[in-house]
Structure 1
Amino acid sequence: MRNRLSKSFFPLIIFFLFSLSLGSLYIKNIGPKSVGDYDMHFYNTYILATGQFNDNFKSDLENHNMKKMVFVGPENFLNLNGADYGYEGKILSPLEKDPNWQEQLDSYNISNGSTRHLVRTQYPPLNWIFQAIGLKIGMLLHQSPFHAWQMARVANFCGFITIMILAIVIIPRGKWVLTAVGIFPISVFLASSMSGDAINISISALLVAYIMHLRFSSQQYQIIKLSQIIKLMGLVLIIFNLKVAYVPMLVIIFLIPNKFYSLKKKIISVGIASLLGLLMYWLWSSKFGTVLLGFADLPQNILFVKEHLITALFSVIIFTLNIPFYFIAGLSTGGAVGVLGFITIIFAILLIIQTISVNYQSININVSKLSERIMLYLPIMLGLLAFLGVMMLTSFALLTTWTKVYPGGVGKTFGMTDIQGLQARYLVPLMPLIALIYGVSKDFIVTAKNSISEN
């Protein structure tokens, strides 16, 4: 452990300095209600902190009759006065005071009478676990609503930092990749806000770090420990209970060599954890879950997609492959959204180029057999497969629930390839996959040969 900490010293110092400095600026200058989907993040945090999950739902007439969970709470805690969906410009301007700051501050001084609210429970509550802990502590300490919500932000930030530190420490190679992802402005902003996206970023980094740890451990030890299998199964369960769109990332588990963690053990242990995760997700979604709607008639849109399923699948594939160009072209539209999308994709591209250049000697190896070439470049192939799987699943969900493609009805009808709603922040939990490039090594070709000969 001491050796890991010594190797992680400089990445951790940089991570601490940049994340704490930038995060402090966001917490100090940006209002707690200035974040995308603010109502979902605030209200899910509140019902988790107060234990108000229930099966009482009502249609939200102002949001396409979307089914939402009913809960009650004090108005000074839960009003949305001064709230702002437009967070992109605030990410780019951490030194500027939020123009909605004073209005948000004043909103906590209104009547504390109990009122009924509706919340979109689109994702499992684990996404807001740190925020709920911070809010609960603030409430138990009888803090003002403003300070209680600020404590929720601080708790989210602390949870993010803790998990990222763990990931940076345990990953044997690629520490600077995780450091770069951890201090990227979108990551820090989400972590210092009420957003549930932060835990998806940090857990993604931890998954990649642990897979890389096990992959390189196979060079020193003959067989995986039971405790390591249990930890891996725990990570699988956690990922199923965050944003389910990131589940395809679990394919990178197959980077752990079979001689160390046999295919049979992988299928049994990961299969059990996945089935439990699916069961937990199904139980939660069937009893408490709601679906995000971008238009009024979801069943009609789903029916249209089903009737044109082949076209829809090809549209999703084409859209996914064009994602880099989608964000690059967004710069021409102007505004903070386009600029942030452009910065995000350029950052990812530069990080990939830098990682390849640093690990170029390991990548640029002459191998004659196709099987050896596949084994050598398996980390890159599985990383790419994970990226495509996540983005295709995300794109299909956006096509079905957020892009009106059926003709007629109310609102604009879009073409199948004109998928709406993709945001730059969706890419950030996938960035830790870039560290898998460091998993390319000729040592694993030898491992494969030995494994074949032993069998």
Structure 2
Amino acid sequence: MSDLIEVRNCGHNLKRCVLIVCLILIPFCLYSFYWYQTSGRFSLLLLILLLAAVMLALLIPFGLKALDSPKAYLAGYAAVLSFFALVFVFIFPPLTVADEDHHFAATYWMANCVLGDGSWNDSRTLQMRPEDESLLFEETSPNISESSYRRVLDHAELFSSSDELVPVDITEHFSLSVAGDNFVTKIPSIIGVVLARLLNLGAYPLFYLGRIFPALTFVICCVLAVKITPVAKGAFIVASLLPMTLNLASSYSYDCGIISLSFLFLACAMKGIFGQGQLTKKDLALIAVTAILLAPCKVIYSLEFILIFLIPNKRFPSRKIALAYKGGVLVCAMASIMLLRMTTITSLAGESGSQYSSEGSSVSLSYLLMHPIQTAILFIRTLIELGDFYFMSAIGSSLGWLQGNLSAPTYFILGYILCAVYSVQATANDSVEISFRAKFIYGLISSGILLASMLALLLNWTSLDSPVIQGVQGRYVLPAMPLIFMLFRYKMGKTSGNVIPFSFTCMYVLNAFYLVQFFARALLLV
């Protein structure tokens, strides 16, 4: 009888697998065929074949329910995230991610210091190979188009013809510092550039190797976060696979390191809040280390440390030890901020105002405090006029330097949101109920991060006569995105199946469709 039931289950899973493959792969092929006919580029065909092959390899085990065990779904998620991280590394030409020219210069300077070709105390002159200087200042454009891909193919030599360094004055272009450029978050990209220099790789292989190391570090941190958190694993999976997250994680941006550390901290905090039994020394150490490393990267994300005080005291040997630990972590995190970021904070709070503001008088903190009503109106007007832009750009409607002619259709954003809402619901293996009080705190933290970023850019980027706060982007809330997604978990949404394989499978499908139209449209631009 049991053999008969097993045979029936296998037959049911096989039919389910065939149905899923047909329902997803056929529309993907039709969608891809349209864009291939529109662009007519062979490189797009190669991307389509690669995406289709990986999609088939993912849909078959998903349809057969072979990804339901923890070991299987972690391996599947790691494979999907690694695949997209590497695709995003190469599908964006050099310096086409926001602020990547600055971050590449900072990484190169720090790599010079490691190799003994520069000084930690002097970033005004950058020792560079001529071909690397040409890549940074002459050969590249922030806009993505067919010519930017052609430029990579025309200049991508595996090895450099010379390892000679020439001094380059960068004072007119960049202002670099160890603290301001977040040395800790740049360690992976520094390793990549140092390794490329030691191997005497050409300028473009050097550039891409410097992208690969932070992307792989991001993958490791995200997989660990999903493994650690006992609640809403789907929130971390979806947040890590959003187009904007992948765009930043596969670049030189220090946002890659910030998002990685934030996800890891949030996962450890969730384990502390919702886990069972006493916290181990390893648990306590992970929370403390991630908090101390994250705090000086961008001070606004220190709001996440409120979660430490939500950890029940019963998870410690005594209430006294609990209070001492929570206070100690907060003090250490604040000390790291004081050590590395106090100069930045005092410059924002000072009377001098913005050094980057556009035409007009700059804004100072004292002015805002003296005009509270006008300040409140400015914040409200900014949220009303630019709120949709923040929302869409956080998901990934526009990537790179927010290139308008490559903006994704709205139905993609809707698909990502629906996937996120379904993926955070409770299941039989994750039946934890997130209370209204907890959601309220998560909402306060997320809103506080957005408002704090607006305040920072009001002081540092906005002129006094500007009608809205300039420079704010939705990507600034990405480190807290798992918390935002958890707000959509509700009692009636509990599902019977395992949502984790669905989370990364659905995100793979959405990203595959996204990349086809993105690459096709980029190839149509001259």
Q: Structure 1 length normalisation: TM-score?
A: 0.73
Q: Does 1:32 align with 2:89?
A: no
Q: For 2:471, what is the secondary structure of its paired residue?
A: coil
Hey, what does 1:295 align to over in structure 2?
358
Equivalent runs, 1:140-219 vs 2, <5 Å: 140-217=198-275, 219=276
Hey, what does 1:282 align to over in structure 2?
341
Hey, what does 1:452 align to over in structure 2?
none
Q: Larger radius of gyration, structure 1 or 2?
A: 2
Hey, what does 1:98 align to over in structure 2?
149
Cα deviation, 1:3-53, whole Å, max 9, x if unaligned, reads xx9854344344334333333333334322222112211111112212246
Moved more, 115-124 or 38-47: 115-124
Cα offset, 1:160, TM superposition: 0.8
Tell me: CA distance 1:210–1:356, structure 2 relative to 1, closer, same or farther (3 Å). Answer: closer
Cα offset, 1:185, TM superposition: 1.9
Q: Does the aligned pair in 1 maintain the 2:192–2:211 contact within 8 Å?
A: yes
RMSD: 4.1
Return the match for 1:265 from 324, 337, 347: 324
Q: Does 1:398 align with 2:457?
A: yes
Q: Does the aligned pair in 1 maintain the 2:446–2:484 contact within 8 Å?
A: no
Cα offset, 1:386, TM superposition: 1.0
Distance 2:356 2:409 in 1: 23
Hey, what does 1:43 align to over in structure 2?
105
Cα offset, 1:210, TM superposition: 0.7
Q: For 1:189, what is the secondary structure of its paired residue?
A: helix
Distance 2:456 2:284 in 1: 32
The AA in structure 1 aligned to 2:93 is G
Q: Does the aligned pair in 2 maintain the 1:246–1:390 contact within 8 Å?
A: yes
Q: Does 1:231 align with 2:286?
A: yes
Tell me: CA distance 1:298–1:143, structure 2 relative to 1, closer, same or farther (3 Å). Answer: farther
Distance 2:154 2:298 in 1: 32
Tell me: CA distance 1:329–1:35, structure 2 relative to 1, closer, same or farther (3 Å). Answer: closer
Return the match for 2:466 from 414, 422, 430: 414
Q: Does the aligned pair in 1 maintain the 2:126–2:168 contact within 8 Å?
A: yes
Q: Does the aligned pair in 2 maintain the 1:379–1:437 contact within 8 Å?
A: no
Moved more, 15-24 or 170-179: 15-24
Cα offset, 1:324, TM superposition: 4.5
Tell me: CA distance 1:378–1:337, structure 2 relative to 1, closer, same or farther (3 Å). Answer: farther
Cα offset, 1:129, TM superposition: 1.5
Cα offset, 1:127, TM superposition: 2.6
Hey, what does 1:117 align to over in structure 2?
170
Q: Does the aligned pair in 2 maintain the 1:134–1:148 contact within 8 Å?
A: yes
Q: Does 1:376 align with 2:465?
A: no
Moved more, 281-290 or 428-437: 281-290
The AA in structure 2 aligned to 1:113 is V
Moved more, 24-33 or 191-200: 24-33
The AA in structure 1 aligned to 2:89 is I
Cα deviation, 1:101-130, whole Å, max 9, x if unaligned, reads 357759x88985332223333442223121
The AA in structure 2 aligned to 1:98 is Y
Hey, what does 2:473 align to over in structure 1?
423
Cα offset, 1:430, TM superposition: 2.0
Paired-residue identity, %: 19
The AA in structure 2 aligned to 1:241 is P
Give the total of aligned pairs: 396
Q: For 1:114, what is the secondary structure of its paired residue?
A: strand
- In structure 1, stretches of 5+ residues that fail to align are 57-68, 366-374, 406-412, 442-455
Cα deviation, 1:203-252, whole Å, max 9, x if unaligned, reads 221111111112232x3x1x433443232111111111322222212222
The AA in structure 1 aligned to 2:471 is G
Q: Does the aligned pair in 2 maintain the 1:167–1:209 contact within 8 Å?
A: yes
Q: Does the aligned pair in 2 maintain the 1:208–1:436 contact within 8 Å?
A: no
Hey, what does 1:82 align to over in structure 2?
139
Distance 1:343 1:244 in 2: 34
Q: Does the aligned pair in 2 maintain the 1:33–1:82 contact within 8 Å?
A: no
Tell me: CA distance 1:160–1:300, structure 2 relative to 1, closer, same or farther (3 Å). Answer: closer
Distance 1:376 1:208 in 2: 17
Q: Structure 2 length normalisation: TM-score?
A: 0.64
